[in-house]
Structure 1
Amino acid sequence: MTDRNLTEKVKVELADRSYDILIGEHVLLGAGKHIKSVLPDAKCAIVTDENVAAIHLEALLENLKAEGIEAAPIILPAGEATKSYAHLQTVIEAIIEMRLERGDAVIAFGGGVIGDLAGFAAASVRRGMNFIQIPTSLLAQVDSSVGGKTGINSPQGKNLVGAFYQPRLVLADTTVLDTLSEREFRAGFAEVIKYGLINDAGFYNWLEQNWDGIKKGGKERIHAVATSCRAKAAIVARDERESGERALLNLGHTFGHALEGITKYQSDVLVHGEGVAIGMVLAHAFSARMNQSSPDDTQRVKTYLEKVGLPTDMSGLRNHVKSANQIMDFIAQDKKVSRGNLNFILTHGIGQAYIAKNVPAAEVHAFLTEALES
């Protein structure tokens, strides 16, 4: 456990592409120094959104200027809809117009949407520029900023266009999370819970006991973020391009992404972490239906997610989700589908997720039909 105001460092081990994740209170105040230590002469484009820019951009620009780093912002609308071809083109053309070179850097300063979009732009301009992540949401700090997945959505589904492209540095300031709305913080916490449910029952037990402390900040929050990052870093180091074990990180995401697609990524209806929360309950319930886990585990997960304030079923989406067929259409586009066969992340219990291959579509359809009727 970390004492207040200390910084934890997590290393993502990828040979000559390894990088550090710095996690702690007020890490943002040292952003210029940290960036300069990795990229001494780089100029930077800062990709951010209107919400983050209004609160934090001036401080970041001043910090970079104090270290002699030239930087200019590219400010986009907030929300999942920004992960689009149109906004990707906007960012790419702005970077080129800045006359930034391959050795310069693109800084993603925002949540998961900004990180994914900016990273894809960095991977594309001049066939690859330096990329730095400064995640400002809990979801981005524990998940999307780590591991090099970048991309945008298409009308057919979420994250279907993109690239694996690792950052040079990740700076996760846990005090920045105090400016998030309660809904955004809770939604991000779904991804923290996910790490316990995948393969760390001890961490899940700790989370059940420390939700109030994590909300308040300080050492509990730093510990939750750092533990999540270590879990993801370890999996990424073993399976960078999701050819095997890394797929476990998608626990709850197959169902969750489908629900996001059906609701057309409208954040007022459903945000990513809420979709993941519903998806994790569905994954445990489907596992129990397939006699792979106990219904008691499903209830335990459901109870904790409800305590956190997250949705656990599809009842709030009835105006959008009309049938199992709707969900199945999106599931068929999921990245884990292989030669038309459905692959899911299921579980044998708390902390015992596994990759289930060739899951019968008829079983999934019947399960979803019952879930929608309940």
Structure 2
Amino acid sequence: MPQIEVGGTPPYTVTVEAGALARASVPESRVALIVDAGLPAEWAKRAQAAFKPELTIEVPSGDACKTLEVLGGVLSRLAQANLPRDGTVIGLGGGATTDLAGFAAASYLRGVAYYSVPTTLLGMVDAAVGGKTGINLPEGKNLVGAFWPPRAVWCDPELLASLPPAVFREGAAEAYKHGLISDPSLIDRVLSPEFRPGQEGFTQTLADAIAVKAGVVSRDLTEQGERAYLNFGHTLAHAIEAVTNHGISHGDAVGYGMHYAAHLSRELGGNDLTPYTRRFLDWQQPRALPPLDFDKLNAYMARDKKADSLGVRFVLLHDLARPYLERVPEETLRVAFDVWQSEVGVSRSLSF
């Protein structure tokens, strides 16, 4: 049973184990469970049996839950239930659900305990670990939020068995990213036929991918330095999500964004890692892109969390496992964008 320790104040444990949800428990007696409404009813029943919540709040699936309106409704439900300061919030769902649930916990009564039970590969490898919580604005993704680490995270591989293949491949983008920026052994393992729930070695590879993020956030919780490297591929990805109104999912957008970042890295003198990102896209088979306008994307990239008063900063790679943060001139962004777009193609029939 892999258990990954995440440093911080306080530290917490990520448990990666089949059946982890059934064995999970919390010390708090008053519990509010926030659940993705699209989950199988059996998963919510398992969570209710484990945590015995006095309040269960269903929220829309995906980024539709990461809005001010949904957050306000959740906070009102917590207040109406008189959840006390020593109560707790538990998030059960994909990365969007755990982002929302964590931010609700951080905001309600200026902060109550929070626990996370991610149900997607993307949620397990990325969103549920590290304490970043938040919601989106029309102006961009994750522009409102708080650093609010969970007290514990339970990653149950059994919950991944029923994921549609496309959704599983979306989540693999974050695991592959961890291979590119930190642990190259993950690159082949993520693309292996063995990287499937129930296959031998799957749980260990999943744990190793989670461990990359756990190590980074233990050293840099509030993104003052190396935590920014976890955003490799995300600057363009978040812009794609915004301009398509999330018609392109986060995982698919990250796949595209990593390939763009690899082009930028090469343009600025790094080793050519585009064969790696191209290989991932061929495996991932992301949803086709609509025609994209660079200026519209660039407007969103300018509001990226890594941007500062001097401009847009990108996470780039000198080589595998050698990330760095760099301001990129707009002309270089345009040149790389044209080459990237000619490679990934667009579907003229798509519009969002």
TM-score normalised by the shorter chain: which range applies?
over 0.9
Q: Tell me the equivalent position of 2:48.
A: 61
Deviations 1:328-366 (A, max 9, x none): 11100100001142210111222222212x221221123
Structure 2 distance, partners of 1:101, 1:272, is: 34
Structure 1 distance, partners of 2:245, 2:84, is: 36
Amino acid in the other structure paired with 1:45: A
Residue 75 of structure 2 is aligned to residue 81 of structure 1: no
3-state SS in 2 of match to 1:11 = strand
Deviations 1:140-198 (A, max 9, x none): 10111001000000011000000000100101101100121111111001100011000
3-state SS in 2 of match to 1:337 = coil
**Residue 9 of structure 1 is aligned with which of 3, 14, 18?**
3
Whether the aligned pair in 2 keeps the contact of 1:61 and 1:71 (CA below 8 Å) is: no
Structure 1 distance, partners of 2:64, 2:189, is: 35
Structure 2 distance, partners of 1:199, 1:355, is: 15
3-state SS in 2 of match to 1:336 = coil
Structure 2 distance, partners of 1:60, 1:81, is: 22
Q: Tell me the equivalent position of 1:165.
A: 148
Deviations 1:255-296 (A, max 9, x none): 111100110123xxx1101000000111111211222122xx
**Residue 20 of structure 2 is aligned with which of 23, 27, 42?**
27
Describe the shift of the 1:135–1:241 C-alpha distance in structure 2 as closer, same or farther (beyond 3 A): same
Deviations 1:34-75 (A, max 9, x none): x2xxx2x4311110121125241112212334xxxx432100
Structure 2 distance, partners of 1:346, 1:169, is: 31
Structure 2 distance, partners of 1:324, 1:104, is: 47
- What pairs with 1:179-194 in structure 2 (closer than 5 Å)? 179-194=162-177
Deviation at 1:26, TM superposition (A): 0.9
**Residue 261 of structure 1 is aligned with which of 239, 242, 245?**
242
Describe the shift of the 1:373–1:306 C-alpha distance in structure 2 as closer, same or farther (beyond 3 A): closer
Structure 1 distance, partners of 2:68, 2:83, is: 21
Amino acid in the other structure paired with 2:271: S
Deviation at 1:128, TM superposition (A): 0.3
**Residue 283 of structure 2 is aligned with which of 285, 307, 310?**
307
Residue 239 of structure 2 is aligned to residue 246 of structure 1: no
Amino acid in the other structure paired with 2:337: L
Q: Tell me the equivalent position of 1:214.
A: 195
Describe the shift of the 1:64–1:371 C-alpha distance in structure 2 as closer, same or farther (beyond 3 A): closer
Residue 340 of structure 2 is aligned to residue 371 of structure 1: yes
3-state SS in 2 of match to 1:213 = coil
Amino acid in the other structure paired with 2:313: N
Structure 1 distance, partners of 2:130, 2:29, is: 22
3-state SS in 2 of match to 1:47 = strand
Structure 1 distance, partners of 2:221, 2:276, is: 31
Q: Tell me the equivalent position of 2:213.
A: 232
**Residue 42 of structure 1 is aligned with which of 29, 33, 41?**
29
Whether the aligned pair in 1 keeps the contact of 2:133 and 2:147 (CA below 8 Å) is: yes
Question: Would you tell me which structure has more helix in proportion to its own residues?
Answer: 1
**Residue 291 of structure 1 is aligned with which of 269, 272, 277?**
269
Whether the aligned pair in 2 keeps the contact of 1:25 and 1:218 (CA below 8 Å) is: no
Q: Tell me the equivalent position of 1:101.
A: 84
TM-score (norm 2): 0.93
Whether the aligned pair in 2 keeps the contact of 1:332 and 1:340 (CA below 8 Å) is: no
Deviations 1:217-258 (A, max 9, x none): 344221122112211111111111001100000000001111
Q: Tell me the equivalent position of 1:3.
A: none
Whether the aligned pair in 1 keeps the contact of 2:122 and 2:171 (CA below 8 Å) is: yes
3-state SS in 2 of match to 1:51 = coil
3-state SS in 2 of match to 1:25 = coil
Whether the aligned pair in 1 keeps the contact of 2:255 and 2:281 (CA below 8 Å) is: yes
Whether the aligned pair in 2 keeps the contact of 1:83 and 1:113 (CA below 8 Å) is: yes
3-state SS in 2 of match to 1:194 = helix
3-state SS in 2 of match to 1:107 = strand
Whether the aligned pair in 1 keeps the contact of 2:316 and 2:324 (CA below 8 Å) is: yes
Q: Post-superposition, which runs of at least 4 consecutive aligned residues in structure 1 deviate over 4 A?
A: none
Contiguous gaps of at least 5 residues in structure 1: 1-6
Amino acid in the other structure paired with 1:178: A
